[in-house]
Every structure is written in structure tokens, then in C-alpha cells.
Chains A and B, each alone.
Chain A
């Protein structure tokens, strides 16, 4: 009887030791697991917030870049210079007309650079306002036409801040160097329900000749806006999944005339 009790006691002591050992091990394992899990979770969280931050930063950068590429300082000062001319002439009506038009354009630039999408109607208003101010400088040597096919829905949206830099390039690198009158044509057409095409065509000196000139001229003025445009198109694809196809051709290579043609195809995100 006594022996049995002792055996049982030893036995239960052994079990107790074993069990408590196991419990301790489990506890340690749980603590370690918890710790690993927690630190990993934190790491993922910080990575995520870092990614979000970087994304936000990138967006702000692009917004600024877009604004900067549109608010071309050359354009701003040349417009103001032309207004100074009408003030000197004491031509109150023209001075006011151009001043208010300029102010309207600046407002449009600020508004649209904050938005990712604008309606086609808004885009056309911006482009025509911009070109009317360029005409102030170029006078009779610049003609322009904006054509919008009937089946294009003017209320439909398209990515903002893409078209204007292209039109500006047509004016400053195509028409500017041409000795005679030049014309810029912007044509909006609907390819299918999901895709819109915009063609910017000018009969200026052509991109090949223009590149030669800007290479000769110490600093390439065109590279900045094209670089911003490339970045912007890439980002549009990443975030909004807008697919934008973009080609530039020298017309001498396409149809044996002088000028540059830029074709943009905007494909709606699915």
C-alpha cells in the first residue's frame, strides 16, 4: 500500500514536471511567435504606409510638374509682354480683353492640375483659350482649328494636363521657327465606346528640324515638357489604368509635307 502510494506520488511528480515543462515551452513558443508575428505585422504596416506615402508624394510631385509644364514661364512672360504693348498704345479694350483672358487661363491651369480627369468640353475650352493668347503674340502667323466629331460625347471625361503641353510644343517648336503662316489643328474623334483619339497636327518646320535647332541652341527647351508628359502617362496607366498610346511623327516621313503629327489614343479603364 505504502509502496504503491510512493510510486504513484513519484509518478505524478514526474507527470507534473513533464507537464509544467511542456507548458513552459509552449508559453515561451507562444511569446516568441507573438513577438515575431507582431514585429512582422509592424514591418508590413510601415512598409505599407511608406508605400502610401511614396504614392502620395509621387502624386503631389506630378501635380506640381503638370502645373509647371503648363505654366510655361516663356508663355506667361510673353503674354504679359503683349499686354504691355496694348497698355502703351492706350488701347484699353484690348488690354482688358487680354488681361482677363490670361487670368481665366491661369485659373483653368490651377483648377485642372488638381484634378486627374476633366471633361472633353473643359479640355477644348482650355486649349482654345490658350491658343487665342498665343495668337496675341503670333498674330497672323498663327492659325488654329479645333475639330470635335459629332459622335464624341463632350461630357465624357479624359485625363487632364496631357493635351496642352503637346499643343504648346506644336506652337513653340513647329510654328515659331516657320517664316510663313502656320496652322495647328486639333481633332477629337471617337474610335469606339472605350477609346478616344486626339490628333495634334501642325505645318511647322517638323520635329526633325526642330530637334536639330534645339540641339544647336545650348539648352533643349522641349525636353522638360516631354519628360513630364511621359511620366504623367506612365502614372495614369499605373493608377487609373487609363491606357494612353502616344506617337509623334515628322510629316515629311508620312505624307511628304512639312510639319509634325502627334496621335494620342485614350483607352478607358475597364
Chain B
């Protein structure tokens, strides 16, 4: 499937690298425009209505997120391109949006393009992009929402609602404060990375808990959560875990 794409990066070298790699490795990507200027990017995207946008984050005067924010209907898949930005990457991952890092690795690029190509038919880009913009405006970690792909489409979940994630043979069952639990095809490791924050603790190789919902700690090495689940704490994590909980 051919995908129309626009490339945005303030450095002409980075644009050239990306253009060359795309031509060589991703023949289904049709580059319909590129620009080094963030403000020009906004008009270019609105004019050409691409299906995919490669967007640099650190640009002078206006960063990549602001570009996205200034587009009235960002209904295209985005692959962010960044040299290094932990905070930004975390925010992007929360919304299940694609990204690649500079210098660009060929395999990463192929993978990101193939995921984006598949996503186009789902028409979920607008929701994900809007969620990203919304999350960036929210200071509190618990108030943000994460995007979890599921069978029917995407689930937008407020972090605060998650009581615990349970790993089950490569899948993950997510237990919420309200409503039925959901099963994701991502592993518990994916959620551990996604919820990198002091509020979440992997007490056991298959239990990631939101520490705000601990009701009790039992001396035999169990925690009881507000939804009455009694979960084991690995022996080697007990002292570290207790210290963390005491400091809360």
C-alpha cells in the first residue's frame, strides 16, 4: 500500500538521511513534501493532507509537538524523529505513536513505517494525536491517559484507573478501579516500560501494581490491593519495596 508522507526537520542533513533511507528501504512511502521550517510545516500539512508525517522534535522557535498542536485536524499517522529526549519518547509511547531515534537505524525505520502503514486503515491517528497533545498539557502522571491497542481498536485508559497489571503467558490482564478488566496482547514488560514512574512497582515478575491502591502488606510477603486481590511480593524485592512504601 502506497503511503503519502511529509518530512519535517530543521536540519537539511537529517532530511537528506531520512529521504535516502526511505527511498532505499521503504518503497511504499511516497514523499510528497518536506520542510526545514516548523511554521511552514503547518501549512504544508494542511495543504497536502499526507497520510504519514515524519516529525523532528527539537526545532528552533517551535518544537514538533507544537506543530502537531497547531494543526486543526491532525488525522495522519506520525513517526517522531529525535536525537535524544527521554521525556518526549515516554509521552509518545503512552499514546502508542511511532518514533525513531537519530542516527536512524534501518531496521527501526522499516518497523516504524510498517506499523504506521497498518495503522492507517484503522483511522485512529486523530484520537492518538489528540491524546498526546492532551497528555502534554497535564502535569500529574496519574491524570494522563495511556493508549492500549486491543482487538476492537484502541482503549484510552486514565493511569489513575489502573490498579494492577497481571502478566499471563505473554499477555497482560489489566485490572481497573471501575469496570471489567481487559486483556492486552502486549507483555507485562511492555506495561512496565510504559508505566515508568515511582507510582508503579513490579512486585513480582508478573505483577505490576499502582502503589496508591495498596491496602495492606502482610508479613508473609503479600500485598492486598483495594480490589481485594492478594498478590505475592518476590523475596528479593521485599526490602526495597517496603522502603518505598514507607517513604510514601
Given the complex, which residues of A lie within 8 Å of B102, measured CB to CB? 77-78, 80-81, 84
B60 → A minimal CB distance (Å):
5
Is residue A4 within 8 Å, beta carbon to beta carbon, of the partner chain? no
Judging by beta carbons under 8 Å apart, are A88 and B16 in contact? yes
Is residue B136 within 8 Å, beta carbon to beta carbon, of the partner chain? yes
The size class of the interface chain A forms with chain B is 20 to 34
User: Which residue, of A73, A137, A178, A217, has the highest number of chain B Cβ atoms within 10 A?
Assistant: A217
A246 → B minimal CB distance (Å):
27
Judging by beta carbons under 8 Å apart, are B63 and A74 in contact? no
Question: Given the interface contacts A213-B61, A218-B136, does A78 sit within 8 Å of B83 by beta carbon?
Answer: yes
A181 → B minimal CB distance (Å):
13
- Specify the chain A residue showing the minimal Cβ separation from B103: A84
Measured in the bound complex, the distance between the Cα atoms of B35 and A135 in whole Å is: 21
B87 → A minimal CB distance (Å):
5
Given the complex, which residues of B lie within 8 Å of A84, measured CB to CB? 17, 102-104
* Residues of chain B from 70 to 104 with CB closer than 8 A to chain A in the complex: 83-85, 87-88, 101-104
Is residue A76 within 8 Å, beta carbon to beta carbon, of the partner chain? yes
Given the complex, which residues of A lie within 8 Å of B17, measured CB to CB? 81, 84-85, 88
Judging by beta carbons under 8 Å apart, are B11 and A137 in contact? yes
- Specify the chain A residue showing the minimal Cβ separation from B91: A218
Is residue A179 within 8 Å, beta carbon to beta carbon, of the partner chain? yes
CB < 8 Å A-B pair total = 53
Contact of B87 among A81, A82, A85, A219 (CB under 8 A): A219
Question: Given the interface contacts A81-B17, A88-B16, A177-B60, does A218 sit within 8 Å of B65 by beta carbon?
Answer: yes
- Specify the chain A residue showing the minimal Cβ separation from B61: A177
Residues of B within 8 Å of A, CB-based: how many?
22
Measured in the bound complex, the distance between the Cα atoms of B103 and A177 in whole Å is: 22
What per-residue 1/0 map shows which CB atoms of B1-40 lie under 8 Å from chain A? 0000000000101101100100000000000000000000
Judging by beta carbons under 8 Å apart, are A74 and B103 in contact? no
- Specify the chain B residue showing the minimal Cβ separation from A76: B84
Judging by beta carbons under 8 Å apart, are B20 and A88 in contact? yes
Question: Given the interface contacts A77-B83, A77-B84, does A83 sit within 8 Å of B61 by beta carbon?
Answer: no
Measured in the bound complex, the distance between the Cα atoms of B62 and A179 in whole Å is: 12
Is residue A242 within 8 Å, beta carbon to beta carbon, of the partner chain? no
Judging by beta carbons under 8 Å apart, are A85 and B13 in contact? yes
Judging by beta carbons under 8 Å apart, are B101 and A77 in contact? yes
Is residue A144 within 8 Å, beta carbon to beta carbon, of the partner chain? no
- Further 7 A-B residue pairs, CB within 8 A, beyond A81-B17, A88-B20: A73-B84, A78-B102, A80-B102, A80-B103, A176-B60, A216-B66, A217-B63
Q: What is the interface of chain B, defined by CB distance below 8 A to chain A?
A: 11, 13-14, 16-17, 20, 58, 60-61, 63, 65-66, 83-85, 87-88, 101-104, 136
Sample of 13 A–B contacts (CB below 8 Å) = A73-B83, A73-B84, A74-B58, A74-B85, A77-B83, A77-B84, A77-B101, A77-B102, A81-B102, A81-B104, A84-B103, A88-B16, A216-B66
